[in-house]
A and B are shown apart, each in its own frame.
Chain A
Amino acid sequence: MGQQESMSVRVLDPVTTSPGLWQSMIAVLRRDLRLSVRQKQDLLNPLLFFVMVVALFPLGVSPESDFLREAGAGILWVGALLATLLSLDHLFRFDYEDGTLEQMALQPQPLFVLVLAKTLAHWLVTGLPLVILTPMLGMMLFLDGNSVAVLCLTLLIGTPVLSLIGSVGAALTVGLRAGGVLLSLLVIPLYIPVLIFGTGTVMAAAGGSDVSGHLALMAAILVLALVLAPLAAAVALKISLSAS
C-alpha cells in the first residue's frame, strides 16, 4: 500500500558507504594537533607547571645531592602526573561546549575509536614533551645517566597510560561546571599503580637489577589501558552528552 505512494514522490535512498576508521581517526588527530599548535599557551602550561613543581622540591625540602638523587625519580614522576592531571580538564571540555563532541558521537564510526585518536593527540602534546624535558630535569636532580634513561623509558610507557586513564575521568566530568577538582579526585587513585611501577622500576635500576621485567609489566598495563580506557571513556561521554 505505502509502496505505491512512495513511487510517486522521490525518495532518497539511505547511504551505505562512509569513510574508514583510519581516515576518521587521522581527521580527529589532525584537527586536535592543529588546534594545539594555534593555542600555544595550552601546549606550554603543563610543561611550565612540570618544571616549576620539580623546582619546588630542592627549594622546599633540600638541595642536597644525596636527597635529590634518591627522590629524583619520584619527584619527576609526581610532577609528570600532576602536569597531566592539569591538562586533562581541557581534553573534552572545549569539544563539549562547542558541539564538536556531539558531532563526533554521531559519526558512523564507533566513538571509542575517535576517543582513542583524541587521547593520542593529548599525549603527543602533553605527555611526550614531558618525557623530552625529563633528561634535563633529571640532570638537575643529580640522577645518573642510567637512571635517567630508565626514567625516560618508564615515562614513555607511563604517560600514555596517564592520558588514557585520565580520558575516562575527563569524560565523566565534562558535563559539570566545576569538574576540574572532582576530576583529580577520581583519577588520582587510578594513577597509583602506574606511579608505583614507574618509580619502582627506576629504583630497581639504580640498585643494579635488571628491569626488563618491570618494563614489560608497565607495557602490559599500557596495553590494558589502550583496550579498556577508550571504551569506558566513550560510554562516559555518551552519558555526559545525554544529560546536556
Chain B
Amino acid sequence: MWQFFHKLGSPKWFYGIAGRFMPWLLGFGLLLALAGIVWGLAFAPRDYLQGNSYRIIFIHVPTAFLAQSVYMMMAVAGVITLVWKMKLADVFVRAAAPVGAILTVLALFTGAVWGKPTWGTWWIWDARLTSMLILLFLYLGIIGLAHAYSDEKTAARAVAVLAVVGVVNIPIIKYSVEWWNTLHQPATFKLTEKPTMVPEMWVPLLLAVLGTYLLFGWAALYRMQTEVLRRERRTRWVKELIAAGGGSQLKSRGA
C-alpha cells in the first residue's frame, strides 16, 4: 500500500501525466464553458420574473458550485496528507487554495451584481451570500496559514488539519446561517429558491458548470506542475527537463 502510494505520489511521474491531461482539460473546459455561457447569455429564454438579469447565474452558479467543491477537495487532500504523507496531496492544497478563494470572490461579486436589479441593493445578508462570505474567510485562513510557515512540510500538514476542521464545520455553518436567515428576514426572494427551469436554461447551465470544473482541473494541474518543479529543482530529472527545453512554467515564471 505504502509503496503504491509513493509511486503514485512520485513528482516526476505526476509531471508527465499532468502534462498529458492538461491540453484536453483546457480544450474541453473552454469549449464547454464558452458554449454554456454564450448560450446562456445570448440564446436562453428570458425569465418571466427577473427578465434578463437572471442570466448572471450562468457565471454565478458555476463559480459558487466550484468554490465549495474545491474546499471539499482540499479537505480530502488534507486527509491524504495527514494519513499517507503523500506529497502531491499537499501540493494540490497549496495550488487549489488561491484558485478557490478567487472563485469565491467571483461568486460573491456576481451575486452582488445579480442582487442589484433583484433586490435593489448590492449586498444583502442572504443566507447563501453570507455562507459564501464565510467560505471566503475559511479560504483566507488557509492561505494565511500556508504562508505563515517557512517550512513547507509543516505548512502542508498544518493546512491539512485546518482544511479538515473547516470541512467538518461547513455543514454546521450552512445550517446555522440558514436558520439565522429565517429568524431575521422571512420570505423575500432568495437565491436558494431556484425558479423552475426549462431545459433551454438548465442545459447551458450544466455545460457551464462542467466546463468550469474542467478549467479548474487544468488550472490546478498547471499550478501543481509549477510547485512540483520548484520543490524538485535540485533533482536530476528537473535539470534534464530544463536542459531539454521543457518546463513551460519555468520560462513563464522566469525561475
CB pair A168 B154 closer than 8 Å: no
Q: Is the CB of B162 within 8 A of A172?
A: yes
Contact between B149 and A232 (Cβ–Cβ < 8 Å)?
A: no
Query: Inside 8 A of A188's CB, which chain B residues have their CB?
Result: 137
- Distance to closest chain A CB from B107 (angstroms): 16
Q: How far is the CB of A169 from chain B (nearest CB, A)?
A: 8
With the chains together, A182 CA to B144 CA distance in Å?
7
Find chain B residues with CB under 8 A from A21 CB. none
Stretch at the interface among A23-31, A150-158, A233-241: A233-241
Interface of B is mostly: helix
Q: Mark B162-183, 1 if CB is under 8 A from A, else 0.
A: 1011101100110111011001
Asked whether A168 lies within 8 Å of B141 as measured between CB atoms, the reply is: no
The answer on a CB contact under 8 Å between A196 and B137 is no
Interface residues on A, range: 20 to 34
Residues of B within 8 A of A175 (CB): 149, 154
* CB of A193 closer than 8 Å to a CB of B: yes
Contact A193 B148 (CB under 8 A): no
Smallest Cβ-Cβ distance to A228: which chain B residue: B168
B176 to A192, Cβ gap below 8 A? yes
Tell me whether B206 is interfacial, beta carbon within 8 Å. no
Residue numbers in A under 8 Å from B151 (CB-CB): 243
Tell me, rounded to whole Å, the shortest Cβ–Cβ distance linking A193 to chain B.
4
Known: A176-B148, A197-B176, A200-B183. A185 touches B166 (CB 8 A): no
Contact B161 A168 (CB under 8 A): yes
Do B179 and A196 touch (CB < 8 A)? yes
Q: Bound complex: CA of A176 vs CA of B147, how far in Å?
A: 11
B157 within 8 A of A: yes
A70 to chain B, nearest CB (A): 12
Q: How distant is A58 from chain B, measured CB to nearest CB, in Å? A: 23
Let me know if A82 is at the binding interface, CB within 8 A. Answer: no
User: Would you give the 0/1 interface string for A102-136, flagging 1 where the beta carbon is closer than 8 Å to chain B?
Assistant: 00000000000000000000000000000000000
Say if the beta carbon of A219 comes within 8 Å of chain B: no
Residue of B nearest to A214 (CB): B179
- Encode contact with A along B110-138: 1 for CB under 8 Å, 0 otherwise: 00000000000000000000000010011
Instruction: Indicate whether B158 reaches chain A with its CB closer than 8 angstroms.
Output: yes
Cβ of A240: which chain B residues have Cβ within 8 Å of it?
154, 158
Q: A173 contacts the other chain (Cβ, under 8 Å)?
A: yes
Q: Which residues of A contact B169 (CB under 8 A)?
A: 189-190, 193
Contact between B82 and A235, CB atoms less than 8 A apart: yes
CA distance A188 to B172 in the complex (A): 14
A182 with B165: CB separation less than 8 A: no
Nearest chain B CB to A149 CB, angstrom units: 20
B166 A190 Cβ-Cβ under 8 A: yes
CB distance from A226 to the nearest CB of B (A): 14
B contact residues vs A (CB 8 Å cutoff): 82, 134, 137-138, 140-141, 144-145, 148-149, 151, 153-154, 157-158, 161-162, 164-166, 168-169, 172-173, 175-177, 179-180, 183
**15 extra interface residue pairs, beta carbon distance < 8 Å, beyond A203-B183, A239-B161:** A172-B162, A173-B145, A185-B141, A186-B162, A189-B138, A189-B166, A190-B169, A197-B176, A200-B180, A221-B172, A232-B164, A236-B158, A239-B157, A239-B158, A240-B158
